[in-house]
């Protein structure tokens, strides 16, 4: 199984009376996500299912990836992708999807801590907004994930502007 971990894109600042849950992507966030998803598609990546934190900015990021990557099923919202959730519970849910290629959208510091945990590090890996990491599992086993690659959006944006 390949698990693609994504941090949500740039979101609007919190406004008076607005909960953190409701913050939407900025126009720049939408554009960057579309470019990242397009680049991954051009690299030949396929996604079977997209899961997301239920926070609006994560769901919007996931929706853009889903559309650009041509995923047929709806985005699955998982509260386990909200910061502070249990990693073992999250990976068990992801494995229960029985998909070969899963894209999961979450938040910092949770997504970086989750990646570190998956690959056996004691420290989190920093995720800038719209960063994508690919973790490979040789079998449907919770332990033993290996980091195949991590791409920061600046890498993609710089290449696409040349």
* Domain total in the chain: 1
Q: Cβ contacts of residue 141 below 8 Å, gap of 6+?
A: none
Q: What is the CATH number of the domain that holds 25?
A: 3.40.50.1240
Instruction: List the domain range (segments joined by +) for residue 121.
Output: 2-160
- Determine the average pLDDT of the residues in 100-112: 97
Task: Assign 3-state DSSP to the chain and report helix, strand, coil percentages, each to 5.
Answer: 40, 20, 40
Residue 18's pLDDT band (boundaries 50, 70, 90)?
A: confident
With a cut of 60, say whether residue 160 has pLDDT above it.
no
Interhelix angle 110-118/87-96, nearest 10 degrees: 70
């Amino acid at each position: 199984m390949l698990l693609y971990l994504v941090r949500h894109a740039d979101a609007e600042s919190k406004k008076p009376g607005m909960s953190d849950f409701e913050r939407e992507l900025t126009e720049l966030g939408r554009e960057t996500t579309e470019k990242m998803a397009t680049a991954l598609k051009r690299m030949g990546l396929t996604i079977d299912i997209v899961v997301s934190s239920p926070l609006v900015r994560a769901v919007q990021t996931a929706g853009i990836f889903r559309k650009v990557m041509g995923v047929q099923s709806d985005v699955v919202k998982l509260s386990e992708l909200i910061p502070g959730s249990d990693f073992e519970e999250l990976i068990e849910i992801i494995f229960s999807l029985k998909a070969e290629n899963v894209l999961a959208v979450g938040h910092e510091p949770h997504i970086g801590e989750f990646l570190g945990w998956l690959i056996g590090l004691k420290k989190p890996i920093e995720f800038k907004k719209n960063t994508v990491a690919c973790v490979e599992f040789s079998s449907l086993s919770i332990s033993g994930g290996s980091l195949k690659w991590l791409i920061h959006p600046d890498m993609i944006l710089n290449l696409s502007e040349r």
